[in-house]
Amino acid sequence: EQAAAQNYRCGFIAIVGRPNVGKSTLMNHLIGQKISITSKKAQTTRHKVTGIYTDDTAQFVFVDTPGFQTDHRNALNDRLNLNVTEAMSGVDAIAFVLEAMRFTEADRTVLKQLPKNTPVILVVNKIDKDKAKDKLALNAFIDEVRAEFDFTAVEVVSAKHGLRIANLLETLKPFLPESVPMYPEDMVTDKSSRFLAMEIVREKLFRYLGEELPYAMNVEVEQFKEENGMYHIYIAVLVDKENQKPIVIGKGGEKMKKISTEARLDMEKLFDCKVFLKVWVKVKSGWADDIRFLNELGL
């Protein structure tokens, strides 16, 4: 038993990449089961969604880092970026997710923000795409990407179809230090479903508001309950001024509809059950100037 404990590995792996490369899909496959409520403690940090995969030889603790804000600089986003950097500092390895046959400026921006001194593993996702089925073309693509950045290792996967996920875990394992597991083996995340729901809405707001994102905005879960095998989730988006409301809602409610529909679909995937989601915008004047309030939110 002593010997087994000595060979066991456990450590942190950050999953990074621009939006839409498939980080969330990959995370869901890596942890291989639906996220469940494992801890009800108050959230003190905002921007780490952790997935945990445990087997007989290792425990992988995955850190998701949503929302690399590359444009639209303001104090709030600076804090968010700081949290992204924080989430990455001290990890044992970084899995940089890229979409097969698509290497863009946004990908390069993320690469530039990665800490030095930490191994970066290139994870080429979506190899099920038609364009990626040509092995020569895929290899040429990988060579092209490797020419620009010094990756420690390379893996190819299809997160959506669950292809080569075990290979990816094997590739990542040597980067974990020898250690006993840090978390109970039945634990898949240290974030509550409530927190994850909030995180999903926040991600959609960032995605759909972009440049228009109000300087002061926050997301609050007003109600979260399970009833007849269905989640009922009420989420308020807090803005600072009345005139910011229409920006978030969009013409004819268009934006809010998109944001809440996509958020609901993500939640249903993540929680593996039907979700009733209501998102609305509330004005809460002056809160953004209150640094103490920001600190209380864990920002």
Element (H, E) at 220: strand 217-227
Residue 138 engages ligand GDP in binding (rule: CB under 6 A): no
Closer to ligand GDP at the Cβ: 158 or 244? Answer: 158
Residue 25 engages K ion in binding (rule: CB under 5 A): no
**Choice from 9, 13, 16, 25 touching ligand GDP (CB under 6 A):** 25
Contacting range for K ion; rule: CB under 5 A; set: 23-31, 120-128, 151-159, 269-277: 23-31
Residue 20 engages ligand GDP in binding (rule: CB under 6 A): yes
In terms of Cα–Cα distance, which of 228, 225, 244, 253 is closest to 282?
Answer: 244
Whether 165 contacts 29, CB under 8 Å: yes
What is the smallest separation between the CB atom of 290 and ligand GDP, expressed in angstroms? 31
In terms of Cα–Cα distance, which of 245, 276, 283, 238 is closest to 260?
Answer: 276
> Is 158 in a helix, a strand, or coil?
strand
Residues 82-121, mask of contacts with ligand GDP (x by CB under 6 A): ----------------------------------------
Residue 50 engages ligand GDP in binding (rule: CB under 6 A): no
Element (H, E) at 108: helix 105-112
State how far the Cα of 154 lies from the Cα of 146, in Å rounded to an integer: 9
In terms of Cα–Cα distance, which of 76, 80, 32 is closest to 188?
Answer: 32
Residues 14-33, mask of contacts with Mg ion (x by CB under 5 A): ---------xx---------
What is the smallest separation between the CB atom of 174 and K ion, expressed in angstroms? 29
